[in-house]
Structure 1
Amino acid sequence: MAEVAAVGWAISAPITTRLLNHGFDESEKLRDLEARILPRLALRQQQAERIPPERMAHLERWSGRLRSAFYDAEDIVDVADYHRLRKQVTHSGSKLMFDKLQHIVSGKTSKLKKSLEKLQNIIEEGFQYLPPLASTISNDNDIANPANKETGIVTTSSASSQFIIGRDEERDEIVNMLRETPDDDEPDSNDKCYSTIGIYGVAGSGKTTLAQHVCSYERAAKYFFPVIWIHVSQSFSVRKIYQEMLEAVSGEPSREFSNLDTLQIKIEAELSGRRFLLVLDNIWTCRNVNAQYKLDQLLSPLKVGKRGSKVRDLLVTSRFKDAAKSAGAQNPMKIPDLNEKDYFNLFMHYALGGMSTDDHKLETLKMIGADIVKNLKASPLAARLVGSQLRKQLNATFWRRVGDQSMLADTMGVLWWSYQQLDEHIRRCFAYCSMFPQGHMFERDNLVKLWMAEGFMNTTHSVEEMEIVGQIYFDELVSCSFIQAKQSTSSDENEQFSMHDLLHELAVMVAGKDWFCFEYGDQIKEFPPDVLHLFVRSYDPMKLTELICKLKKLRTLIFFYGSITIGALESMLKKLKKLRILDLTDGGALEFSHFENMSNLVSLWHIRNPGRHLNYSVISSFPGVGEMKSLRELSDFTVRKEKGYELQQLMIRSLLIEQASQIEPSLKLMPHPEEIDRFTDEQTDMVDAIVMDIFGKCDSVLQKCLRGSTSLTRLTLQGIPFIKSIPSEVMRSLSMLQYLFIISCAQFTHLQGLNHLSSMRRFEIRKCPNLTALQEDEKGRALHALYIDDIHIMPKLLSRECFISLQSLVFWEAEEPREEEILQQFSYLTYLIICFCNWNRLPENLVNLTCLQQLSLLYCKNIQSLPTLPSSRRVFMLSTCDQLFMKSCQTVGHQNYQKIAHVPWKDFFSYE
């Protein structure tokens, strides 16, 4: 039924409204699409199991043709919208342009007329496949058609959070097995220095939840450090997982390392001597020698150290017992079903948890719920999905009808029923996620932007309204448990979400032929010719260029990893004229070495695609943006003294730029200051991040560039010799600013209004010797991380309230502190890092930092001894310091060694 489901998205998409708005309201068939077709499609999906195979094949083919016809019409209307926008941007258009616009919009072009005639004919043909809407819908109508739903009572957010019940016994059993340390003399036929515990069971039985329960317990107990979680897809990449492991253990991005040997050496160095726990979630059966080799290669970094001296444990989950055994688990645990009481309580948590209603109604729903759970086969995933849908309608009649649904007898049937309860627009957004591989982590805002670019929002109004609608769609998927929030940490900059593997399989099933995911290791001769959205995760996407060029209908192209040349991109974009989204993520980079200007290329591309999303993750040079009248979003742009990089290039209506780098608004660059005024007046809220490097006397220019930038999240001022201040009125407008860097600005003196930066996470201010103290009411009040070179700056800029909130403090090339009492005011400091400092000793009052978990000394050559340190510390890192000092910290019995003996994780390394 994938084609049938997908055609519902097409009909209910904003394209129908756009066609009517463009003057085609004389077509009664178009006007009645939602009223006449959608309910019948919904009913046909409900009755899918009763449709004869030959009739189902006809229905599927018809649905595919109808959906394709809608896409064709949408592409033509895109052209009309583009010319309309171009006329608005240029303010005055030629008569030829105006005539062309009128010709397209009026529907007189033969191409558009033929497209609409084809669409109407297909619609007329479809009525023979669709049932009447009379009594056949009967009492199931409110289940099949989400539009008829009763809203019920307002809920709380408690059911959206992770809820675990009835798994403490299994958790404790696994914890005990993890902590069993064999004697040194115990023989080991596998010659391993780590032990493996396995959990297996059918999909949706709670394996991942149990493993997460174990991880949460171990993180709190602090017996293992670190605890590393890795999701393993069926076609996993050893390199990708190595990078994830290295990033998890080092806390630093690892994507600059791509060589397997280098990654393995670094992982082994990081893990050496540590007591750690690695969790591999959802491993698959090794069906051939190559798959087993990949798994062995994946586990090879664990074979470091002496068995029995330090515990290295591996916990794996899998649907298959053999898969757990292939990873080294001798006696994998089959996850047991929850007992009836716990399972019922789990179901009722998602169905009624946090609800407020009268006792009689509550008891009635509980009685009905007790009957429903009998059909769910003790599947925790089914309990979560069905419960999440029921909580929206606290209606006993609806609950009873749900209990009568035969499809609830198996887990996939539950998923399909839950999917059918979603609004058509939200179904399409859910299906879009099928393009990404299993285990992919979604960032809320990024995913919403992709939906917006594709036109999935049920609105034709402003970008701001589209984003609001997109956020509502996302919240709906979360509340219905189709997407789950990742357990966040204090260091997370963006909240991440994931999708259960079974739900991903459902998304793939309902998405049909529109979406395709290519991962490294996949062998393919051709992509499906009608694919619209393509995700490529490959270390060498250049090999796929020729295949991609054949996808004439492609709308989304996402390269995840791997670099591609501008020449290859040019060849693709000449073919992919319907492309809406080009996303180069996580290392995808364009090489601009032989290409001077992209204006003609991208202008040609965007003639076909108004209002789309172009995302470059690591590009700092992108000339000719001004020619791209359709562009709405760009992650980076450089303004400088070259053709194609002028500030005027950014004067495009409704463009959002995530980072405008190296803006140099000197008098030489812009001889007409009124251009700055025009830019700041017209482009309010356009830029998300600004980096400013060396330029002339520009306090006023800086003020103008920052004026109205209420959405700015990142600002860097570096090496600007004449700048003196950021005025208070500008600071007041930067309420969304999260990262502020002021470096090597010798005359910088004033930072009034720091108190207005309520969203600040990281503040770095170094080599600004002339800073003056702020008034108490102007000092910063909220901050997560601070990078400084002078401890005496802190009381000048930060309030006592901010001292308490600070978690990370980094001294970089700092003078030795003369007033140590300042340091002890950071009562909740958890990370202290001292880098490139010529200190002769560490402050004696470090012991008073009772929340300190990590102390790192990097390139501090003069320090010879350690003071008494707080017992709270979990990590001690010493890198490239005095050799004798580093040796003494590793010598048993030495006083330096004694002061860190209680620390679970100690790291010593040198780059010299």
Structure 2
Amino acid sequence: MSMGNLSRSKIIVTTRSLKVASIMSSCDSYVLKGLFYEDCLTLFTKWAFNDGDERRYPNLMRIGKKIVEKCKGVPLAVRTLGSLLFSKTDEREWILLRDNEIWRLEQSENDILPVLKLSYHYLPSHLQRCLTYLSLFPKDYLYDTDYIIQFWMAYGLLASSNQNEEWEDIGITYFKELWLRCFVQDVTDHGSFYRFKMHDLIHDLTLNLSQRECLTVNRQQMKVIEKVRHLSFSLDSPLGVPQSLKKLKRVRTIVVPPLPFSTENRSIDESFVNACILNFKYLRLLDLSYTLLEELPESIGTLKHLRYLDLSLCRRMRKIPSSICKLQSLLTLRLFGVPLIEVPESLQSLISLRFLEITTDALLLRVIQPGCWSSLQFLFLHKCDRLESIFDGMQHLTSLRRLGIRGCVRLISLPRSLKFLTKLEEINIKSCQKINLCMEVEEAEDQDLHLSLKAFSVLWSDALTDLPRLLLKGSANTLQSIQIIGCKNFEVLPEWLQNLTSLQKLEISYCRKLSSLPEGMDRLTALRLLKIKGCPTLSERCRRDGGADWPKISHVQEVEVDL
């Protein structure tokens, strides 16, 4: 099919609906058959066994062949059930799956929901609940684990027998279990978080399973059952709360997801929010992101059970009410893209807050008082265009684990009080052109530092010339990843880099002044990945065939250098 010659161009339409095919088609449809049985069996074996283990368990293979036959050539069903049985060697579990009553349900050739429902029923109950809540978002939605885990936290779904394990870590474990069982797909790893999608058939499954508790509001007049607890609004017209919903007394969730394929913000006003607050007193989660809301009513402070509040990209909002300080159960507050004139002091009264994402037009951020935000684990500052310095009193954020600063173009430095944050695991700085991370310290002070950084990244900063000794050398035993991208004045890697004995990944891109690697790189025995891109002189020195610096890195398992 040549696109250069329009007369020869073709359009291929794929659909699972014969009705859609008949409407769209100008020629006979081609009906795809399922995978051949042998291919299905190969796929099943790949997901159900470790390499070669199928030969050790011939009885399981015999049972597995019967399960594969029942999947009718549908790869998603084969893969999902195979992953469900992975590492299970008890024949009784395989037989229970093979002989489950759900196979006896009337099922059309193209309907695999019963098969997927079977795999759902074999999930642990905590994963079942986590999965069904994903139905609140539309098909093809790009999920982010940072925010989905905050959702799960708001509902109290995260639990562990280990009292010292943080909720956020439990959430990542839950997500990985869903991933391994093939309930999510298109997963991309961003270091400390993941983005993913759901197959549309899995999404159909979650809608089917959650229909008694979750409701998508897509028209003003709807018949609803009183057990509904979670509402997702997808009306195209200006939003209001339909009368039929106002009788609901058990609503826990209001979500207003952005319209598909639209860059416009959703049109809601203060009356919508007031109606939600008046009628739904037990709200735990309120997501009004991407809306044209100009003001949050003072009555927001009456939502005593609210744990998650998202106002991201409400671009017309300039302030938030002081009554927000009454939300003592609030765990997550997202104010990204909300051009606040100032960060209200009342925010520091949110003693349960664990996740704060904020944008402000202020020059300075208020001093953090002792005892404030003592539970805060994630702090992200986005596009604070006028901000020149961040919070004094950072040492009081004793639980902080991740610090992200992006698009703060006037920010000059980070406070030295960061050295007291012994739980800080990640610093990510992006598009802060003026930031200088030298943070000079006395030699004795340097030696006494015991930090816990695992990941450090700086992207697109003209002021960065070398690595910050204070933060990185103090994390010599924990630092696993360093990423420096687009720092045109970055010109030297320090000799003390060799002391970072836990370093596994080092990426240097578009730092044209960096011309060589330091001595002692061969001591980085944990280093597994080295990426060098857009650094012409350095790339030449790191060539496998005779590069001057190659002996320093020849032990690294994966070296990616553009030449």
Q: Specify if TM > 0.5.
A: yes
Decide whether aligned partners of structure 1 residues 182 and 550 sit closer, same or farther in structure 2, where only a CA change above 3 A counts: same
**SS of residue in 2 equivalent to 1:713:** strand
The residue aligned with 1:371 is 66
Q: Hey, what's the Cα distance between the residues in 1 that align with 2:145 and 2:439?
A: 38
- For the 8 Å contact 1:540–1:563, the answer to whether it is kept is yes
Decide whether aligned partners of structure 1 residues 503 and 712 sit closer, same or farther in structure 2, where only a CA change above 3 A counts: closer
The one-letter code sitting in structure 2 at the alignment partner of 1:564 is: I
Alignment map for 1:829-840 (pairs within 5 Å): 829-830=532-533
Return the offset for 1:539: 5.2
**SS of residue in 1 equivalent to 2:288:** strand
Return the offset for 1:581: 0.8
- For the 8 Å contact 1:603–1:629, the answer to whether it is kept is no
The residue aligned with 1:760 is 456
**SS of residue in 2 equivalent to 1:715:** strand
The residue aligned with 1:588 is 291
Decide whether aligned partners of structure 1 residues 725 and 511 sit closer, same or farther in structure 2, where only a CA change above 3 A counts: closer
The residue aligned with 2:326 is 627
Alignment map for 1:375-454 (pairs within 5 Å): 375-391=70-86, 393-405=88-100, 407-408=102-103, 410=107, 411-454=112-155
Return the offset for 1:469: 5.0
Return the offset for 1:563: 4.3
Decide whether aligned partners of structure 1 residues 341 and 571 sit closer, same or farther in structure 2, where only a CA change above 3 A counts: closer
Q: Which has the higher contact order (CA 8 A, sep 6+)?
A: 1
- For the 8 Å contact 2:356–2:376, the answer to whether it is kept is no
How many pairs were matched up? 503
The one-letter code sitting in structure 1 at the alignment partner of 2:2 is: T
**SS of residue in 1 equivalent to 2:71:** coil
The one-letter code sitting in structure 2 at the alignment partner of 1:439 is: D
Q: Which has the larger radius of gyration?
A: 1
The one-letter code sitting in structure 1 at the alignment partner of 2:440 is: H
RMSD: 5.0
1:181 and 2:6 are equivalent in the alignment: no
Of 302, 316, 320, 1:604 maps to 302
Consecutive unaligned residues of structure 2, counting only runs of 5 or more, are 259-265, 518-528, 545-560
Return the offset for 1:442: 2.7
Alignment map for 1:37-116 (pairs within 5 Å): none
- For the 8 Å contact 2:239–2:272, the answer to whether it is kept is yes
Alignment map for 1:544-693 (pairs within 5 Å): 544=241, 549=246, 551-561=248-258, 562-585=266-289, 587-588=290-291, 590-592=293-295, 598=297, 600-606=298-304, 609=305, 612-618=307-313, 621-624=319-322, 625-636=324-335, 645-646=344-345, 649-661=347-359, 676-679=369-372, 683-690=374-381
The residue aligned with 1:726 is 416
1:528 and 2:224 are equivalent in the alignment: yes
Decide whether aligned partners of structure 1 residues 768 and 563 sit closer, same or farther in structure 2, where only a CA change above 3 A counts: farther
Decide whether aligned partners of structure 1 residues 373 and 538 sit closer, same or farther in structure 2, where only a CA change above 3 A counts: same
Q: Hey, what's the Cα distance between the residues in 2 that align with 1:553 and 1:507?
A: 21
- For the 8 Å contact 1:545–1:572, the answer to whether it is kept is no
Q: Hey, what's the Cα distance between the residues in 1 that align with 2:414 and 2:208?
A: 59
**Could you list the per-position Cα deviations for residues 259-296 of structure 1 after superposition, in whole angstroms to 9, with x for gaps in the alignment?**
xxxxxxxxxxxxxxxxxxxxxxxxxxxxxxxxxxxxxx
Q: Percent identity?
A: 19
Return the offset for 1:731: 7.2
Decide whether aligned partners of structure 1 residues 327 and 805 sit closer, same or farther in structure 2, where only a CA change above 3 A counts: farther
Return the offset for 1:693: 8.1
Q: Hey, what's the Cα distance between the residues in 2 that align with 1:187 and 1:414?
A: 44
The one-letter code sitting in structure 2 at the alignment partner of 1:181 is: S
- For the 8 Å contact 1:513–1:528, the answer to whether it is kept is no
The residue aligned with 1:501 is 200
Consecutive unaligned residues of structure 1, counting only runs of 5 or more, are 1-179, 189-193, 198-315, 811-816, 833-842, 852-870, 874-912
Decide whether aligned partners of structure 1 residues 804 and 327 sit closer, same or farther in structure 2, where only a CA change above 3 A counts: farther
Alignment map for 1:23-42 (pairs within 5 Å): none
The one-letter code sitting in structure 2 at the alignment partner of 1:659 is: E
Q: Answer 1 or 2: which has greater helix percent.
A: 1
Decide whether aligned partners of structure 1 residues 820 and 747 sit closer, same or farther in structure 2, where only a CA change above 3 A counts: closer
The one-letter code sitting in structure 2 at the alignment partner of 1:525 is: Q
**Could you list the per-position Cα deviations for residues 294-350 of structure 1 after superposition, in whole angstroms to 9, with x for gaps in the alignment?**
xxxxxxxxxxxxxxxxxxxxxx43113564576678565433332232222222222
Q: Hey, what's the Cα distance between the residues in 2 that align with 1:468 and 1:759?
A: 16
Decide whether aligned partners of structure 1 residues 183 and 350 sit closer, same or farther in structure 2, where only a CA change above 3 A counts: closer
- For the 8 Å contact 2:44–2:68, the answer to whether it is kept is yes
Q: Hey, what's the Cα distance between the residues in 1 that align with 2:490 and 2:456?
A: 19
The residue aligned with 1:317 is 14
**Could you list the per-position Cα deviations for residues 453-483 of structure 1 after superposition, in whole angstroms to 9, with x for gaps in the alignment?**
22344679989665555445444433333x2
Of 393, 400, 403, 1:710 maps to 400
Q: Hey, what's the Cα distance between the residues in 2 that align with 1:319 and 1:328?
A: 13
**Could you list the per-position Cα deviations for residues 555-580 of structure 1 after superposition, in whole angstroms to 9, with x for gaps in the alignment?**
11111121433343123312221222
Q: Hey, what's the Cα distance between the residues in 1 that align with 2:463 and 2:55?
A: 64
- For the 8 Å contact 1:676–1:704, the answer to whether it is kept is no
1:486 and 2:186 are equivalent in the alignment: yes
TM-score, structure 2 length as denominator?
0.71
Decide whether aligned partners of structure 1 residues 849 and 181 sit closer, same or farther in structure 2, where only a CA change above 3 A counts: farther
Q: Hey, what's the Cα distance between the residues in 2 that align with 1:187 and 1:501?
A: 34
**SS of residue in 2 equivalent to 1:367:** helix
